[in-house]
Homo-oligomer: A and B are copies of this chain.
Amino acid sequence: MAIFVRTKYAMRDGMRVSTKREANDLLTEVDLAVQEEIVARIRTAFPEDQIFAEENGLHELPANRDGRTWLIDPIDGTQNFVRGLFPAFGVSLGFAVNGKPVAGGVAVPGKGELFLAEKGGGAFRNGERIVVSDVDAMGSARAEIDFSGPWDREEILQKFSPLMVAIGQVRCHCAAVIGLCSIATADMDAYVHVALNPYDYAAAMIIVEEAGGLVTRLDGSPIHVFDGGRGVLASNRLLHDALIDVIV
């Protein structure tokens, strides 16, 4: 599947792209093909399980919010994939029980990276254990601030301006799986977004947690992936309280 995605990226000038929401939220045939493949495998292996996914009629909240649920984002970072910003896009597959991600996989085909984590078993990149950073001062920390689309921009500035002033370094790749997994690998120390969908972060959330990090709502409250909340704050754990303090 990673090869399929990478090949399609190289061919992207010839792809069909339909506008979903404004000009920036792009849906591609790759999204649909990847999702279909993942859904088919889940339906075969776990026919009773619920599926919640970005595309194609699977984005209704599952009937049992505490039940066994697979969360799929076939291409996270679609804008980077379609318009082109290599290699900031990935395939995300999470599995939640009682609203808590307990297993997750993220593939970043452009970098040849596969992240895997399971509750209590640690987090891994291409089979090697990964651990969050030990940076504990805001002034020397790096935060990925996701600027999302224009529709979220006023809220982002309102909530994150003090953070933008306080933090040592700011980065923005606009792909939740990239931002979150970079905490798990200790490349970054924090990640914030005002409005993620559960399938955007479920897989990466357990990857960050199993690497020693913490993922909560923006006020520090725990996440149930179907609690209706949208804000997500992830960190290496050490910085979490200081981050909550500067988020408005």
Query: Cα distance A188–B169 when bound, in Å?
Result: 21
A36-70 toward B: CB 8 Å interface, digit per residue (1/0)? 00000000000000000000000000000000000
Given contacts A139-B22, A139-B23, A140-B24, contact A85 B153 (CB under 8 A): no
Query: Cα distance A164–B159 when bound, in Å?
Result: 14
Chain B: CB-nearest residue to A165: B153
Given contacts A84-B187, A85-B187, contact A24 B169 (CB under 8 A): yes
Please tell me which stretch of A93-101, A171-179, A196-204, A226-234 contacts chain B, meaning at least 4 of its Cβ atoms lie within 8 angstroms of it. Answer: A171-179
Query: Cα distance A114–B75 when bound, in Å?
Result: 29
What are 5 A-B pairs at a CB distance below 8 A? A24-B140, A147-B169, A150-B165, A150-B166, A171-B174
Query: Cα distance A167–B156 when bound, in Å?
Result: 13
Query: Cα distance A23–B137 when bound, in Å?
Result: 10
Which residues of chain A have a CB within 8 Å of any CB of chain B?
22-24, 79, 83-85, 137, 139-140, 142, 145, 147, 149-150, 153-154, 156-157, 161, 164-174, 182, 187-188
Picked from B140, B153, B166, the residue with its CB within 8 Å of the CB of A164 is B153
| 20 additional A-B residue pairs with CB within 8 Å, beyond A83-B187, A170-B174 | A22-B139, A23-B137, A23-B139, A23-B168, A24-B168, A79-B169, A83-B142, A85-B142, A145-B172, A147-B164, A149-B169, A150-B166, A150-B168, A153-B164, A154-B165, A156-B164, A157-B157, A157-B161, A170-B172, A171-B172
Query: Cα distance A192–B137 when bound, in Å?
Result: 27
Contacts of A142 in B (CB 8 A): 83, 85
Picked from B166, B168, B172, the residue with its CB within 8 Å of the CB of A172 is B172
3 closest A-B pairs by beta carbon, nearest first, are A147-B170, A23-B140, A172-B172
Q: Does B157 contact A150, Cβ atoms closer than 8 Å?
A: no
Query: Cα distance A170–B84 when bound, in Å?
Result: 14
Query: Cα distance A63–B214 when bound, in Å?
Result: 54
Contacts of A139 in B (CB 8 A): 22-24, 150
Query: Cα distance A187–B164 when bound, in Å?
Result: 25
Query: Cα distance A7–B196 when bound, in Å?
Result: 37
Query: Cα distance A139–B25 when bound, in Å?
Result: 12
Q: Does B174 contact A173, Cβ atoms closer than 8 Å?
A: no
Contacts of A85 in B (CB 8 A): 142, 171, 182, 187-188
Chain B: CB-nearest residue to A138: B150
